[in-house]
Structure 1
């Protein structure tokens, strides 16, 4: 009798310990059968998967509070993966040039994209085949330079010019930005004389280091230099007037402008976006299947919600001068939480623009599938409708 009771106790203890082990090792798949055809339902399961603990990812930064690189003709600030580690594939910058200032001729190991915020400038580009383009830009215009295309930017008119720039390399400034003054100042003047077929003393006045943005005389907005522009045809031009185009999306809540390679053929690796949101409006939860996104707040206050690759959710509020980086395929939304219109300019690191939305899934998936996804009756999901890409909060009632 005592031996029988002992066996029952040991069997019960073993069963209890086994159940505890099964519960604790659920994620390891130790419950149920799993050998060839011998499979079965789990005898124990979680109702929902626990959320990951820990701090959410940092995906925003204050670009315009970063270090400034200023020379006689203007300045620039940049944000790279050094300051925002999540931004591995896109770096951003803010370029300001005085009236009469010019960013000297240079080129990169990365492509460069820009949106002119205010002022006017003249861009000169020479491609690897020796084809030159000289083209004037104003507010709302884009430029795009493929990697290796030499280029320079010079302010036109009495008003300073500034632009928001992006590069398809998170560490672009450390991976190769080549300037003409920096390079030529390191050469022996006799070597330069041989290379260019002019006397060596012609190079005596070359600065002994990088000039970066040089102050010069103010060029009239409608003067002979401005009128000397030579723009290439649409397929080859490095310029595109994004804000002169019809927006891709326009609703009572705002508008979305897009300049992909379809609209701007030269821009093969980057797509420009400009988002306007009325107070309270939201760019719906969505993701980009082909690209990372980097954007900068020009005006207003926004709240960005990110569903990150590590399954954590991060929320950040941005003001003018702040920027955000959204990794590829990460769900996100942008809301205007201020009292004035918000304006956001940004770029995706792909020449193809794809946007998948959560509301499309909810509207187009079979009701029985959604009911299963959420564990609710079909009647609870029967009224999901496709919402506008940009929407205002629902009214009362």
Structure 2
């Protein structure tokens, strides 16, 4: 461009900008170019006397309400949205329709979040985490996997964390130890566990689905799946525990000078030429011999005493039958080495519920093994939130916060309750009210004499389903 032409263009620029600024808002707000820029004009900010807001008829949303959605919201009947095409956040005269955007799958399986009972109020902690949303750590050579729940995903679950782990046949969870206590329930399959304690006493045992093991902090141990593979649940007494921070045998060897290892073990440095160059974590190995005695290595200290055994054959303990299902308890009274782990496996028949209760001295960490259910967590003075649970979900209920677990499906509901306590105990709402002088209850709650006469002074644990009025 010639210098005189460039000079004239520069002189005209202020006038051109004034013309643009003086253009009507309707013109300035409409970028009619075929490919608008990444950002709009400053004229789009705020009010303009010429702007028109597009309006139309309210969206015609097609839906059908379930019978429970037409009841008084305080009745709080479970809403089964599983097969509802367009579930809506409506209960009685509360809520309204929802045109979206939405995740319909989440809404269908979490009806008490979409349309909570009228008795919910305020906000409690988030007492639910689906293991299916946890990042899955995959073992090498298709040996298995592990996914965990801890305070990263449930910040208020400070007392306990959990891991769901699968080992294929002959696969190992590598030799390791950790700073937290480890309590485990086998969900399916079978495995061989092995350990040695600080006295040099050794331990080995074969376990199957339903059995329990426990390893104290610092006790090195291994787990190997037998011929049918194994899946197990691990519960740790630290809410921030992470499977990624365990002490692994491979890492100990990798991060100790070979000269030191040779001196320590009384071998040559060349003995370590073929050690793995990375951790193994979950990997396949040589199948365990059928005869466990072949692996029963002992030292001069002998075996771990039976009274301090690291395993408990919980699968062979009969369940205690109650009206609405069954309960099995294992705690230090029968499994002494697990000095502060108390647990119950609870089954609830369709329509039944784990009675309203709370634990005065411990938080409750719950894992849902089978079926589906819901629970309302009540936190003083007046916060209440209802959660829906499926198999594979974790629930967490802080100490002295009342809750129940109701079977909302048409099959048996099974879940595990774990406490940090020397004995499995709870306070039951029904027993409390029934064991309080009737006149006190009548004056407080306005319950009739007929109602009071039906209350039971013994814990029910699980109550059977009842028909409503």
Q: CA deviation at 1:309?
A: 4.8
Separation in 1, partners of 2:202, 2:123 = 50
Aligned residue in 2 for 1:44:
none
Query: What is the DSSP-based 3-state SS (H/G/I as helix, E as strand, rest coil) of the residue aligned with 2:432?
Result: helix
- Please say if 1:358 is aligned against 2:426: no
Matched-pair contact (CA < 8 Å) for 1:294–1:348 = yes
Separation in 2, partners of 1:309, 1:169 = 25
Aligned residue in 2 for 1:70:
138
The unaligned stretches of length 5 or more in structure 2 are 1-118
Separation in 1, partners of 2:293, 2:124 = 52
Question: Superposed, which structure 2 residues align to 1:57-136 within 5 Å?
Answer: 57-72=125-140, 73-136=143-206
Matched-pair contact (CA < 8 Å) for 2:191–2:208 = yes
- Please say if 1:181 is aligned against 2:253: no
Matched-pair contact (CA < 8 Å) for 1:109–1:175 = no
Query: What is the DSSP-based 3-state SS (H/G/I as helix, E as strand, rest coil) of the residue aligned with 1:56?
Result: coil
Question: Superposed, which structure 2 residues align to 1:238-257 within 5 Å?
Answer: 238-247=310-319, 249-257=320-328
Question: Superposed, which structure 2 residues align to 1:105-254 within 5 Å?
Answer: 105-157=175-227, 159-173=228-242, 177-219=246-288, 222-223=290-291, 228=296, 232-247=304-319, 249-254=320-325
- Please say if 1:331 is aligned against 2:399: no
Change (3 A) 1:277 1:239: same
Q: CA deviation at 1:102?
A: 0.5
Q: What is the TM-score with the length of structure 1 in the denominator?
A: 0.81
Structure 1 residues 77-113: Cα deviation after superposition (integer angstroms, max 9, x where no partner): 0000110111001001101111111111111111000
Aligned residue in 1 for 2:28:
none
Separation in 2, partners of 1:383, 1:297 = 31
Matched-pair contact (CA < 8 Å) for 2:120–2:386 = no
Q: CA deviation at 1:378?
A: 6.0
Separation in 2, partners of 1:244, 1:237 = 16
Residue number among 353, 362, 367 corresponding to 1:282 in the alignment: 353
Matched-pair contact (CA < 8 Å) for 2:208–2:315 = no
The unaligned stretches of length 5 or more in structure 1 are 1-50
Structure 1 residues 270-323: Cα deviation after superposition (integer angstroms, max 9, x where no partner): 112211111111110011122111111111001112112564111111111111
Matched-pair contact (CA < 8 Å) for 1:135–1:229 = no
Query: What is the DSSP-based 3-state SS (H/G/I as helix, E as strand, rest coil) of the residue aligned with 1:317?
Result: strand
Separation in 2, partners of 1:347, 1:153 = 22
171-180 or 360-369, larger mean C-alpha shift: 171-180
Separation in 1, partners of 2:195, 2:455 = 50
Matched-pair contact (CA < 8 Å) for 1:57–1:312 = no
Matched-pair contact (CA < 8 Å) for 1:290–1:353 = no
Separation in 2, partners of 1:215, 1:191 = 29
315-324 or 348-357, larger mean C-alpha shift: 348-357
Higher strand share: 1
- Please say if 1:55 is aligned against 2:137: no
211-220 or 59-68, larger mean C-alpha shift: 211-220
Separation in 2, partners of 1:375, 1:391 = 23
Separation in 1, partners of 2:322, 2:271 = 60
Separation in 1, partners of 2:211, 2:451 = 47
Aligned residue in 1 for 2:329:
258
Separation in 2, partners of 1:335, 1:377 = 26
Q: CA deviation at 1:54?
A: 3.5
Matched-pair contact (CA < 8 Å) for 1:186–1:208 = no
Change (3 A) 1:192 1:233: closer
